[in-house]
């Protein structure tokens, strides 16, 4: 379980996150909102790329802000990026092994763990020695996903993993995302604009708009919430 | 390499056909054998067919190849430009001479000490890299190199005098570091340098193939991705600087013993810029590129001199070389040249294989 308490981020006069308090219990949770709502900033705060002005985050009874960012990865925090960041220069195996070796545990079972992660995301048909630079967009996304699940992740942040993927590939991705909590015991937070993906994978969803939390609860209810519909579709302006 | 070539030569499908779990494929073995033959030729055959003068030049080529390799790691693997490597080479030489004249320590210990002290200094020169990148980092390292040159100009290189500086103004200007007892002659010293240089290449290879190499690749492509993977960016950037400086310092020790001692005139600050150009021409990604760079920096000037050609020609060569590399061969000569030769061989073979291959295949 992760509890975010009163987190505020301020860049000059702009507040990408404004007093956000929300709790994600277990399984796969969604975080949605229109462009510029503060979703990526929220992930950046959790990963340590952005230091919030105030607030705290308690993840599995530990204070996340007390750890420097690279130690959060060792603790079990993993993330993917809106623009996919698989390391082209490295092979499939090395991409995933890089995360495993900096995680610093289970050294003896590294090979097994890395191949297991590639298998888990459905990349087992490729030679692990292939350089990631030659793979297509879908496989690169999956490499990033494998990096996020290798070892024993505790909190997995997925930032628009389905962006730019066709429907059938999104379905494969959804099945991978759904299996993460069962297989790894990790809590997954998913940011995406693809509502069917969010509906398919997330039991709980929170909605941000202009840096504020406007709704949170069971996904189906949240998506019917009138504030949420207004945030996405806008309101009629009265002249 | 263009994208088309990339996917053409190492397409995922083609490579995936190889059975997984097989550690050494044919390509790796061919590479290893090639490197071994190249090394053995240099070790056994070269001293027999060249004069002492050319062997001394070749010793310098080995020294500068390792310096170039350090720079190639910084530029090609981590994405950090340093223009202070030649100054670090001078530091390595200074430290080796100082300790060499003050003590009777064996030569390998001197190399190690020169490497370690230079490594520490390299980390200090690299500190700005934690905040700066690109042009700004290049400028800062160039300034640091200039500062080191100015200090060395005042202190001179130790020639057996007393005090901290070890420079005796009444003695002969320079004095060479004593050579290891097994490598007193020009030939044996060349072989000694070759072995140490080979070990430095091996050290760099182990780094690039291992955990630091993976961390560097991540840092070079995307610092956020590296951070998200748990890479301590500060540590690995400084580690790269320390490794490059260590290798450079060790070679500084060998340089101090190779000729008649060192003077600051051997380490002009602008040579770091030539070195960067040479590394680009040779290729920043591979190890062979560093050897090409060493040849460009030390052997080509000697050849020009030998043929009574003006030394300024080298600058023109560098200019043309860098442009050629940036425009058509981003991986450098070390990768491009064998490819071009293969193309040429295929073109020559074309009339004989015409019936079997299409023109498209030949062109590729």
pLDDT tens-place string over residues B294-328: 999 999 999 999 999 998 898 898 889 888 888 88
Residues 6+ apart with CB under 8 A from A66: none
> Which pTM was predicted?
0.86
Identify which of A49, A102, A139 has the shortest CB distance to residue B229: A102
Same domain, A180 and A214: yes
**pLDDT score of B9:** 37
| Full residue range of the structural domain in which residue A120 is found | 85-152
In angstroms, the Cα distances linking B199 to A177, A197, A202, B257 are 47, 54, 55, 18
Rounded CA gap, A93 and A91, in Å? 5
pLDDT grade for B6, boundaries at 50, 70 and 90: very low
Q: How many helices (H) and strands (E) in chain A?
A: 9, 10
Write the burial class of residue A235 (CB in 10 Å: 0-12 exposed, 13-18 middle, 19+ buried). Answer: exposed
| B130 touches A: beta carbon within 8 Å | no
**Contact of A29 with A1, CB cutoff 8 Å:** no
Rounded to 5 degrees, what are φ and ψ at B122?
A: -60, -40
Same domain, A72 and A11: yes
Is the per-residue pLDDT at B212 higher than 90?
A: yes
Bridge partner residues of B232 (DSSP): none
Identify which of B18, B217, B220 has the shortest CB distance to residue A127: B18
Same domain, A72 and A159: yes
Same domain, A147 and A159: no
Is the per-residue pLDDT at B15 higher than 50?
A: no
Where residue A219 sits, what CATH number does that domain have?
3.40.50.300
Same domain, A70 and A158: yes
Is the per-residue pLDDT at B243 higher than 70?
A: yes
Could you tell me the domains of chain B?
26-363 (1.10.3470)
3-state helix, strand, coil split of chain A in percent (to 5) is 40, 25, 30
Rounded CA gap, B162 and B167, in Å? 7
**pLDDT score of B299:** 94
Residue where a domain terminates, one of A152, A181, A210: A152
**pLDDT score of A87:** 92
- Per DSSP, helices labelled H in A34-136 are 39-47, 69-75, 92-103, 110-120
pLDDT tens-place string over residues B250-272: 999 999 999 878 889 899 988 99
Same domain, A121 and A68: no
Q: Would you call B232 and A48 a contact, using CB atoms and an 8 Å cutoff?
A: no
Same domain, A229 and A177: yes
Q: What is the mean pLDDT of residues A33-46?
A: 90
Predicted-assembly ipTM surpassing the 0.85 threshold: yes
**pLDDT score of B133:** 81
Is the per-residue pLDDT at B176 higher than 50?
A: yes
Rounded CA gap, A233 and A239, in Å? 18
Rounded CA gap, B287 and B297, in Å? 16
pLDDT tens-place string over residues B92-151: 999 999 999 888 899 999 999 999 999 999 999 888 888 888 889 999 999 999 999 999
Is the per-residue pLDDT at B5 higher than 80?
A: no
Same domain, A140 and A179: no
Same domain, A140 and A43: no
Same domain, A53 and A169: yes
Same domain, A210 and A145: no
**pLDDT score of B12:** 39
Same domain, A143 and A187: no
**pLDDT score of B18:** 43
- Which residues on A lie below 8 Å from B6 (Cβ)? 133-134
pLDDT tens-place string over residues B43-74: 999 988 999 999 999 999 999 999 999 999 99
Residue where a domain terminates, one of A119, A152, A185: A152
Please report the number of interchain residue pairs, chain A to chain B, with beta-carbon separation below 8 angstroms. 90
**pLDDT score of B358:** 52
Residue where a domain terminates, one of A134, A152, A170: A152
Q: What is the mean pLDDT of residues A7-22?
A: 90
Q: What's the domain count of chain A?
A: 2
Instruction: Compute the radius of gyration of chain B from its Cα atoms.
Output: 22
């Amino acid at each position: 379980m992760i509890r975010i308490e009163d987190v505020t981020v301020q860049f000059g006069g702009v507040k990408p996150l404004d007093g956000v308090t929300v709790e994600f219990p277990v399984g796969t949770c969604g975080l949605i909102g229109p462009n510029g709502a503060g979703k990526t900033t929220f992930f950046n705060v959790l990963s340590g790329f952005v230091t919030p002005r105030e607030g705290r985050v308690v993840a599995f009874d530990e204070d996340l802000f007390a750890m420097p960012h690279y130690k959060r990865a060792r603790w079990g925090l993993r993330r993917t990026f809106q623009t996919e960041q698989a390391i082209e220069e490295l092979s499939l195996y090395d991409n995933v092994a890089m995360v495993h070796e900096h995680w610093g545990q289970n050294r003896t079972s590294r090979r097994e763990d890395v191949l297991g992660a590639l298998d888990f995301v459905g990349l087992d048909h490729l030679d692990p020695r292939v350089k990631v630079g030659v793979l297509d967009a879908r496989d690169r996304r999956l490499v990033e996903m494998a990096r996020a699940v290798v070892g024993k992740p505790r909190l997995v942040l997925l930032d628009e993993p389905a962006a730019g993927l066709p429907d059938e590939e999104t379905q494969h991705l959804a099945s991978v995302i759904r299996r993460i909590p069962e297989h790894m015991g990790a809590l997954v937070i998913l940011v995406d604009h693809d509502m069917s993906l969010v509906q398919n994978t997330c039991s709980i969803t929170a909605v941000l708009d202009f840096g504020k939390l406007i709704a949170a609860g069971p996904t189906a209810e949240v998506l019917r919430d009138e504030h949420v519909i207004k945030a996405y579709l806008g309101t009629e302006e009265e002249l | 390499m263009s994208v088309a070539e990339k996917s053409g030569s190492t397409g995922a499908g083609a490579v995936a056909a190889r059975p997984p779990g097989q550690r050494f494929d044919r390509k790796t073995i061919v590479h290893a054998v090639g490197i071994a033959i190249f090394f053995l030729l240099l070790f056994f055959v070269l001293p027999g067919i060249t004069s002492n003068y050319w062997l001394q030049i070749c010793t310098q080529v080995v020294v500068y190849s390792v310096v170039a390799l350090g720079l190639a790691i910084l530029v090609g693997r981590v994405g950090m430009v340093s223009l202070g490597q030649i100054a670090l080479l001078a530091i390595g030489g200074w430290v080796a001479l100082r300790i060499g004249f003050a003590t009777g320590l064996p030569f390998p210990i001197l190399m190690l000490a020169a490497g370690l002290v230079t490594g520490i200094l390299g980390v200090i020169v690299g500190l700005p890299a934690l905040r700066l990148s690109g042009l700004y980092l290049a400028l800062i390292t160039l300034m640091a190199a200039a500062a080191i040159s100015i200090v060395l100009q005042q202190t001179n290189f130790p020639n057996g005098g007393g005090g901290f500086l070890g420079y005796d103004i009444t003695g002969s200007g320079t004095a060479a570091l004593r050579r290891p007892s097994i490598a007193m002659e020009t030939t044996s010293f060349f072989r000694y340098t070759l072995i140490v240089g080979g070990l430095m290449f091996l050290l760099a290879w182990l780094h690039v193939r291992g955990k630091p190499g993976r961390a560097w690749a991540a840092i070079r492509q995307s610092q956020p991705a590296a951070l998200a993977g748990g890479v301590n960016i500060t540590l690995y950037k400084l580690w790269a600087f320390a490794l490059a400086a260590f290798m450079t310092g060790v070679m500084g020790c060998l340089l101090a013993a190779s000729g008649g001692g060192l003077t600051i005139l051997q380490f002009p600050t602008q040579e770091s810029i030539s070195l960067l150009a040479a590394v680009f021409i040779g290729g920043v990604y591979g190890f062979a590129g560093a050897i090409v760079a060493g040849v460009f920096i030390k052997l080509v000037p000697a050849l020009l001199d030998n043929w009574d050609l003006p030394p300024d020609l080298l600058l023109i060569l560098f200019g043309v070389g860098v442009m050629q590399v940036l425009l058509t061969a981003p991986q450098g000569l070390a990768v491009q040249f064998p490819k071009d030769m293969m193309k040429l061989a295929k073109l020559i073979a074309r009339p004989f294989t015409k019936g079997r291959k299409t023109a498209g295949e030949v062109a590729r």
